[in-house]
Amino acid sequence: LNGNQIGNLETGVFNGLSCVVRIDLNGNQIGNLETGVFNGLSCVVRIDLSGNQITNLKTGVFKELSSLIILDLSNNQITNIETGVFNGLSGLSELYLSNNQITNIETGVFNGLSCVQRIDLNGNQIGNLETGVFNGLSGLYELYLSGNQISNLETGVFNGLNCLGKL
C-alpha cells in the first residue's frame, strides 16, 4: 500500500488479517493514527509508516502488537510522543523516528522496550536529554542522535545503557 494517497486509517481496517506479517504504508498522506487501528494484527513483525504526515502518537495506538519487531515512523511531522505510546511492544527490536520534528522526549516514553537494540532519532529538533529518558533500554546497542539541537546532556542520561555500542 506504499506510495498511494491514503490519508486516514479507520479503526478496524485490518480486522481479519491475523496472518499479515508486514504492513507497508510509507509514502502516503496519513496524518493521524487512531487508537486500535492495528488491532487484530497478531502476527505482524514490521510496520512501515515512514514518509507520511503523522504529527502525534497517542497512547495505545500500538498496544496489541507484541510480535512487532520493526517500527518505522521516520520522515513524518511528529512533534510529540506521549508516554505509554510504545506500551505492549515487548518484542520491538528497531524503532525509527528520524527526520521528524521531535523537540522533547519525556522520561518514560521508552518504558517496556527492554528488547530494543536500535533507536534512530537523527534529524529531529531535540534540544535536551533529561536523566532517565533512556531508562529500561538495557538491550540498546545503537542510539542515533545526530542532526538535532542538543545543547545539554544531563549527568547520568546514558545510565543503564550497558550494551550501547554505537552513539
Residue 144: predicted pLDDT:
98
Residue 52: predicted pLDDT:
98
In tens, the pLDDT along 46-75 reads: 999 999 999 988 888 898 899 999 999 999
Chain centre distance of CA 28: 18
Predicted model pTM: 0.95
Phi, psi of 162 (to 5 degrees): -70, -20
Residue 151: predicted pLDDT:
92
| Rounded Cα distance, 8 and 1, in Å | 13
- In whole numbers, what is the pLDDT of the chain averaged over residues? 92
Q: Running DSSP on this structure, what letter comes out for residue 99?
A: S
| Rounded Cα distance, 61 and 149, in Å | 28
Identify the segments of the chain with pLDDT beneath 70.
none
